Amino acid sequence: MNSQSSPSLRQALTPSDNDSSPERKALLAEIDASCRRPVLFMFANGLLWLMAGTALALLTSYKMHSPNFLADWSWLTFGRVRPAHLNTMVYGFASQVAIGVAIWLMCRLGRVPFMQGGLVVGATIFWNIGVTVGIVGILAGDSTSIEWLEMPGYAAYILFIAYALIAIWAIIAFRFRRERHLYVSQWYLLAALFWFPWLYSAANMMLVIDPVRGTVQGAVNWWFAHNVLGLWFTPIGLAAIYYFIPKVIGRPIHSYFLSTLGFWSLALFYNWAGIHHLIGGPMPAWLITVSVVASMMMIIPVVTVAINHHMTMVGHFKKLKYSPTLRFIVFGAMSYTVVSLQGSSMAIRSLNEVTHFTHYTIAHAHLGVYAFFTMVMFGSMYYIVPRLALREWPSARLISIHFWTTALGILLYVVPLSVGGVLQGLAMNNPDIPFLKTVELTKPYLVTRTFAGILMTVGHTVFAVNFVWILARRRKAYQPPVPFIAAGLQQEAGAQLGKDI
């Protein structure tokens, strides 16, 4: 801590109940109990969609290099399976788990139990009906063919209403918080809870319900699709990282000033960035130039947040060995830095000319949604679920397998596919190379991706097994927590065991 800082600011930043008093622990227990039903229900449904989305992903990936596979049935053609995969993951898995994590964080940070858990379970059922209707609609051929909004209009209404019914309670939890001190995670959560309905309703109004004309659709589409990542998943992911790193290692976040700068520069710049997807398209040049500049300005929040997280972690990296939460979260935080800086570079016109319309973009999207966001959500669930289920994770080995298969899987996915994407882009820009050659050139990278997908499928299956196991496990007399190392290493880890899970 910096001794020159004004005492009043320091005071304002310190939670009023930041001690280990029994009263405070009892309050935390009460909060966890109040979140139990809605949050566990969201996690369980999210994991179901994760498994469905993983199956669709494998199918999509396989079809990329073996297009004849299951191509005879219109429901399983590439043009339907791919958007079904995307929407399953975005709305079924990622958004649902994100809302669950957001609710728990809101209650924890506001020191207030969740109100209306039962009502939110009902709204969550409604949300899942919406996702089901949307996915079946896409597979049945009713896709809108609008990127990230493929779900037919009738599903969009259900999703929006369900979202409103859920999010309102997270916002109410914020409104009636007992802790007046606002922690940085709360800024991000509150902003994201308002940003998402704004994006989703505006994009649906302008693209599906009453479509605007011509190329304006492209601008609205990429404004939406890019912002779902930057103003919905990113803030919730960052809120979780900001919460769990200091929580697990027991040390304050490095700098309040960097937190402030990181949040406000994200809020200021991200919204402009999406139009860089239309470089070279029939868009007014100034619109694209503004978005290129905004994309480069995103370096400010990204570097700020990276420094803030890294300086908090410094000296505590050995804790990655014991805490599954920390391991997933730090992997996600590092991926956030990489994917964001990569994203800024992809907005530069001369680089975009190569990487646009290639697999490089796909690799980038997965680096963002998976290596950053999904890994952070996995880490958060490892922390939250035992507190809600009132049991310890049953198997450390499964956690370990989950981490290594997904971490290595996403690296095996992103790195080769990025290389393949650049080669593909260079080949496509060379008029002497026939188009079919540029397609054949990508094949080894596409096959590698399928293998990466199999690795990640193993990881997801293992996680789902562990999740069902922790919920179904009979409660017995207290058992010590399972530490996050293979059983053989337990002796070595000694006294550290379990303390930092």
Partner 1 sequence: MNPPSNPPPAPKLDPHEDHELHDVMQIHTAILRREKAEPQEGLEPMPIWLAALFGALLLWGGYYLGRYNGGFKALVFDEKSSGLPIMAAKPPGSVDMVVLGKRTYTAMCAPCHQETGLGLPGQFPPLAGSDWVNTAGHARLVRIVLNGLTGPMEVNGQPFNNSMPPWRDSITDEQVAAVLTYVRQSWGNKAPGVPIDDVKVIRDKTKERANQPWTADLLKATPESE
Q: Does 164 bind partner 1 (CB under 8 A)?
A: no
Q: Does 253 bind partner 1 (CB under 8 A)?
A: yes
Q: Which of residues 103-142 bind partner 1 (CB under 8 A)?
A: 108-109
**Candidate list 77, 116, 132, 255; residue touching partner 1; CB under 8 A:** 255
Q: Which of residues 323-382 bind partner 1 (CB under 8 A)?
A: 349
Helix (H) / strand (E) containing 263: helix 256-269
Task: Determine the size of the site formed for partner 1 (CB under 8 A).
Answer: 78
Instruction: Identify which range of 244-252, 326-334, 405-413, 455-463 contacts partner 1 by CB under 8 A.
Output: 244-252
CB within 8 A of 151, min separation 6: which ones?
A: 87, 91, 133, 134, 135, 137, 138, 143, 144, 159
* Cα-to-chain-centroid distance, residue 406: 14
Q: Which of residues 173-232 bind partner 1 (CB under 8 A)?
A: 181, 183-185
Cα–Cα distance, 428 to 355 (Å, whole number): 10
Instruction: Identify which range of 189-197, 297-305, 425-433, 438-446 contacts partner 1 by CB under 8 A.
Output: 297-305
Q: Does 480 bind partner 1 (CB under 8 A)?
A: yes
Q: Which of residues 408-467 bind partner 1 (CB under 8 A)?
A: none
Which of 369, 365, 379, 385 has the alpha carbon at shortest distance from 331?
379
Which of 166, 198, 6 has the alpha carbon at shortest distance from 101?
166
Residue type, 363: A
Cα–Cα distance, 254 to 329 (Å, whole number): 17
Cα–Cα distance, 276 to 268 (Å, whole number): 16
Give me the least distance between CB of 6 and partner 1, in Å please.
9
Cα–Cα distance, 460 to 50 (Å, whole number): 8
| Count of C-beta atoms within a 10 Å radius of residue 412 | 18
Report residue 146: phi and psi, to 5°. Answer: -100, 120
Give me the least distance between CB of 160 and partner 1, in Å please.
32
Instruction: Identify which range of 130-138, 408-416, 478-486, 487-495 contacts partner 1 by CB under 8 A.
Output: 478-486
**Candidate list 59, 97, 392, 398; residue touching partner 1; CB under 8 A:** 392
Q: Does 501 bind partner 1 (CB under 8 A)?
A: yes
Q: Which of residues 17-56 bind partner 1 (CB under 8 A)?
A: 18-22, 25-26, 28-30, 32-33, 36
Instruction: Identify which range of 7-15, 154-162, 414-422, 482-490 contacts partner 1 by CB under 8 A.
Output: 7-15
